[in-house]
Structure 1
Amino acid sequence: MMIFAKLCLLASLIFLLFTRVRTLLTYFQQEEYDGKRFVGAWSDVRLFDVKATVATLVAVVLGANGMGAVLTTLLLSVAFVVLAYLEGQHRFKKALARTERAMRIYWLTFGSVAVLALLTLLHPLCALVALHAAPFVMIVANKVLQPLQVKINEGYQSEARAKLERLDPIRIGITGSFGKTTVKHMFAEILEASGPVYYSPGSINTVLGHTRHIRQRLQWSHKYFVAEMGAYGIGSIKRLCDFVHPNYGIITAVGDAHTERFGSIEAIAQAKSELATEVCSAGGTVVLNAKLLDYAPFAKIRETYGARAVTVGFEDADVVISHQELDGGSWSISLSSQNPDLDGITYELPLLGEHNVLNSALAVVMAATIDPKIVAQIPYFTRTVAQVPHRLQKVGAPGTALILDDAYNSNEMGFMSAVASMDKLAKQRGGRRILVTPGIAELGLEHDRVHDRLGKFSAEKCDMIYVVNPDRIRSFVDSTKSGAAKVIEVATFSDARALIAKELHEDDVILYENDLPDLLEEKRIL
């Protein structure tokens, strides 16, 4: 009978590990398979085992105090099955992407910890070895598989590079601390006036991401290829440029988003300037937010390449936004310039947010620079620019509250612009101004200063503020006390939605500002 009980315990532990490894891999993937950052997540999110450990220790104590080894072993087996089932019911905001790489890591990790699970045949306490080793076995598994992954990636990249060279579309790179995805969508829709455009969906902005889309989706019919470019350190955009070889570039902004990764805003400016350097040195043209000239790398680029670096801004720019007026849900925008091809362009933009005025101007100027013949058509294309999902997207229907979904990757300027838009719309509707936010991520040393400013700004323009995971942004919570807004602290977005639903009025406007990934919102007890 004892042999049967031990086999039941082994099977139940393997079942629990089957689920546990999937959970850990989801977080590991969200940390971009970075072992060091994953160890930080293991501590911050509490990915270490608690429930199964307690269950095991209780079973051992009960067995030692006369309950009987067979019964306690069977009870522990049941506990493992229940815990595996409950863990399997958890729903992630960003579910595991079952890529080939992810599955290789999964099966190597699971196989390794399943072998460790055999130790439970010796003693139930040995179950803890497999459970607690799983996160670290996963890091080792990724390292072991790394050479194979590099070889596979290089093969795919070679295919994509050859296809891009063979099809040879006109290539445009877009980067910036924020706004690049929105500008990409705007620009691609406007550039359709000149010819078929391919651009990666969502926020694909890495070499591997572009590799997959070039291999699978780029066609001979595409005249233009638009590549969003993300920077994860100095040299990231240079590597993307070496892969894509852009003929043109747009750089939206330099800000304190991702300061935690780069260390300083000067380093961010240096990283973003790599696109301008690559494009201009190859004889192409780059369109810049005029404020970028405040940073030394961009000032040097302007000095070196002159007219190849076209600036756009509200003043002191090659192309000046001379008029902007919000009428209902659309902007009326005019541009002026010494360049006759860019002077006098007037268009409408059906998107919320004052920051989108500059974003759209960057897109319009780039499109007009690439193909001046489409200038007269630009107003027809901007008028129908679609809302970009999760970027100040209006969601609502007659008779219901208006939701502003600005859940993706917030920054300080965009945060304030979104709150200002909510304030204006709520006053027009006569409803309450309700903000739901967990703040901004990856600010590094600027974390408290930025959140203090955002808290004071929000306190003046909101009636209710739901702060998600408030312990992470205590400076924001404290600074909101400067206004009359009612502040409610909640653990998750789901908790906020449940509370809002109980007292929501049809005239209210709710802004969901920045929805953090599971890693930053959750505290788990596995």
Structure 2
Amino acid sequence: MLDTPALMILIAGLYEGFRRSRKALLTAKKPLVSTERARRILAVYLALMAFLGSGFLIIAHWQPVPLIAMLVLFSLIAAQIAPYALLAANRLLSPFEQRVKARYLGEAKEKLAHLQPYIIAITGSYGKTSTKSILAHILSSAAPTLATPGSINTDMGITRVVREQLKPDHRYFIVEMGAYGPGSIARLCRLAPPKLAIITAVGWAHYERFKTVDRVFDAKFEMADAARANGGKTIVNRDAVPQNKLDERLSRDDSLILVKTNPHAEAVHETITGLSVQSAKQDRDGISLVINGSDFGEISLRAPLYGLHQGQNIACATAAALQMGMPISSIKAALATVPQSRHRLEVIEAKGITIIDDAYNSNPSGFASGLELLDILQKPGGRRLLITPGMVELGSRHDEEHRTLGELAGQHVDIALIVTPERILSFIEGFNSRKNDQAQLLRFATQDEAQNWIKDHARADDVILYENNLPDLYEQLPGF
């Protein structure tokens, strides 16, 4: 006989589990996106679970086992094997998914070959997304331009953009490409062969994947090889790549156009430098650059962006636009109205509080720019606050880089809110070694705890830097 109270308890437990799971999905830092592939995997998963459930029903029918006991047992087993059932569903669908992927890739290649937009490919350990956004804004002032949105930089992400968004009137197509291993950028370049390439930086951001900077360099410069094979050129941020590897490359590659982005760097390779940044200044309203080029001499540029490292991105985008034939006067006019990139040193005013949203950054250069920006945006009587869990993918340089940034933070931060402090102890040591007597360092186990502290204690005229946090904090401005 069915035990009604026990069944009600089981139903209530299942409902509560469903409610909590749904709440977690709705409030997740990055919401779940239901793609066609995800729906196919879910359908196969549900079929597998239904098959398992039917087995339990058969057992319950032929064996003297209470139905409620079988339901409880099935619920417990189903909860335990759910991850394995999802893996099994994915494995069963793998041959079909490979055929679908090949078909989509083929359609994207055919469309690119038919429409023949001018393809500009961008890669780099950092700066690629911001450079892409700046260049897209510049080129859009001259002709219809499409750029891969956000941080989309994989083969299927690019394929989807081509299939769904590329139109016959798009003259320029800017493609961000990510390096996920040797050969990955070469494969992306076969999908979207670049006529112009931009390499923004080669650094430690991918250390855990590649183990050495030399391997990162080789992976990034697969793009230069592809551009050269296509009769094109490659813009290189000369001051953000290993000089020994660059010198070696220059000895056998005449397709590189170097951009000197560091005003204080030694002047080398000047004979093949596309342009040089003579000075860079940051104020409350944006960045001012003075650049020098062989075709136009010295000129001033202005952009409403934040973080001096953005000067490098502006310079690379400017060099690319010049290479494509845009006059410097048009580039200068476009830069004056370039929008901020979301979650990349995006400055927001909220009820008298200045928020520096650098949620998508995880490189030392951008982190340092954000810390220095605190001083520039600080208002009289306001405090400088930092919320960060630190950086990722630094490998063996994790402690060294965090210690250096902690020392810098000690000079620019009044209150440091450290999330998961156990993973960046060197940052804390560096901060404590340089902070003044009034500066505070607070520790929090979760981002929510740190954010709740901000809601309770932030004051008008404060400036708050969110460094390398997921973006849900900024979908709605904090309710101070």
State whether structure 2 residue 362 is matched by structure 1 residue 410.
yes
Which amino acid in 2 is paired with 1:476?
F
The structure 2 residue matched to 1:263, chosen from 208, 211, 222, is 211
Please state whether the residue corresponding to 2:251 is helix, strand or coil.
helix
Residue 380 in 1 paired to residue 314 in 2? Answer: no
Query: Are 1:301 and 2:246 matched, yes or no?
Result: no
Higher relative contact order (CA 8 A, sep 6+): 1
1:292 to 1:424, Cα distance in 2 relative to 1, 3 A: closer
Partner residue in 1 for 2:475? none
- Residue 447 of structure 1, CA deviation: 2.2
2:349–2:355 Cα contact (<8 Å) kept: yes
1:508 aligned residue: 462
What pairs up with 1:22-41 in 2 under 5 angstroms?
none
Conserved 8 A contact 2:385-2:414: yes
Structure 1 SS opposite 2:344: coil
Is the contact between residue 231 and residue 271 of structure 1 (CA under 8 Å) also seen in structure 2?
yes
Asked if 1 retains the 8 angstrom alpha-carbon contact of 2:388 and 2:466, the reply is yes
1:7-156 equivalences in 2 (<5 Å): 71-72=5-6, 74-90=8-24, 91-117=27-53, 119=56, 121=60, 123=70, 124-156=72-104
**AA of the residue aligned to 1:100:** E
**Is the 1:183–1:360 Cα contact (8 Å) retained in structure 2?**
yes
The Cα shift of 1:71 comes to: 4.5
Aligned-pair CA distance for 1:282? 2.8
Q: CA deviation at 1:200?
A: 1.6
CA shift at 1:137, angstroms? 1.9
Cα–Cα, structure 1 residues 137 and 170, in superposed 2: closer, same or farther, change >3 Å?
A: same
Match of 2:123 among 161, 171, 175: 175
1:301–1:309 CA contact under 8 A, matched in 2: no
Task: Give the aligned partner of residue 282 of structure 2.
Answer: 326
Counterparts of 1:513 and 1:383 in 2: how far apart (Å)? Answer: 26
Give the whole-Å Cα distance in 1 for the aligned partners of 2:410 and 2:46. Answer: 49
Q: Are 2:232 and 2:255, in contact at CA under 8 Å, matched by a contact in 1?
A: no
Q: Post-superposition shift, 1:472?
A: 3.1
Distance across 2 between alignment mates of 1:126 and 1:517: 38
| Distance verdict in 2 for CA 1:451–1:116, change over 3 Å | farther
Structure 1 position 474 matched with structure 2 position 425: yes
> TM-score scaled by structure 2?
0.87
Q: CA deviation at 1:440?
A: 1.1
Distance 1:278 1:268 in 2: 16
Q: Distance in 2 between matches of 1:181 and 1:278?
A: 20
Contact 1:175 1:228 in 2 (8 A): yes
Conservation of the 8 A alpha-carbon contact between 1:335 and 1:344: yes
Mapped to 2, the partners of 1:170 and 1:137 lie a distance apart of 45
Q: 1:332 to 1:82 in 2, by over 3 A?
A: closer
1:252-301 Cα offsets, whole Å, 9 max, x none, are 11121132222222221111111112112332111111135525553333
Alignment partner of 1:395 is 2:355:
no
Secondary structure in 1 matching 2:221 = helix
Check the 8 A contact 1:293/1:299 in 2, yes or no: no
1:95-494 correspondence to structure 2 within 5 Å: 95-117=31-53, 119=56, 121=60, 123=70, 124-292=72-240, 294=242, 297-306=245-254, 308-314=256-262, 315=265, 316=267, 317=270, 318=273, 319-337=275-293, 340-341=294-295, 343-371=297-325, 373-397=326-350, 400-426=352-378, 428-482=379-433, 483-484=435-436, 485-494=439-448
Deviations 1:175-208 (A, max 9, x none): 0011100000101111234322111221111111
Given the superposition, is the C-alpha separation of residues 301 and 343 from structure 1 closer, same or farther in structure 2, using an over 3 Å criterion?
A: farther
Cα offsets for 1:432-455 (capped at 9, x unmatched): 000011111222222222222222
**Quick one: distance in 1 between partners of 2:284 and 2:361?**
26
CA RMSD between the two structures:
2.2
Q: Does the 8 Å CA contact 1:273/1:298 hold for their aligned counterparts?
A: no
| Change beyond 3 A, Cα 1:111–1:379 | same
Deviation at 1:74, TM superposition (A): 4.3
More helix by share: 1
| Distance of aligned partners of 1:193 and 1:76 in 2 relative to their CA distance in 1, 3 Å threshold | closer
Within 1, Cα distance between the matches of 2:241 and 2:445?
Answer: 41
Change (3 A) 1:348 1:292: closer
Aligned pair count reads: 447
> In the alignment, is the contact (CA less than 8 A) between 2:261 and 2:311 conserved in 1?
no
Q: 1:264 to 1:116 in 2, by over 3 A?
A: farther
Stretch moving more, 112-121 or 282-291: 112-121
Q: Percent identity, please.
A: 36
> 2:457 and 2:242 mapped to 1: Cα distance?
47
Identify unmatched segments of 5+ residues in structure 1. 6-69, 519-526
Q: Which deviates the most, 167-176 or 459-468?
A: 459-468
More displaced, 485-494 or 249-258? 485-494
**Does the CA contact (< 8 Å) of 2:361 and 2:367 recur in 1?**
no
Amino acid at match of 2:278: S
Q: Could you tell me whether the CA contact under 8 Å between 1:433 and 1:464 is conserved in 2?
A: yes
Residues 474 and 107 (structure 1 numbering): CA distance in 2 closer, same or farther, change over 3 Å?
farther
TM-score normalised by the chain length of structure 1:
0.80
1:78-137, Cα deviation, whole Å (9 max, x unpaired):
223222222221121111111011111122223323433454856434533221111122
**8 Å Cα contact 1:238/1:274 also seen in 2:** yes
Q: Which residue in the other structure is 1:14 paired with? A: none
CA contact (8 A) 1:342 1:365 kept: no
Alignment CA distance shift 1:199-1:517 (3 Å) = closer
Secondary structure at the aligned position of 1:391 is classed as: coil
Q: Distance in 2 between matches of 1:247 and 1:435?
A: 42
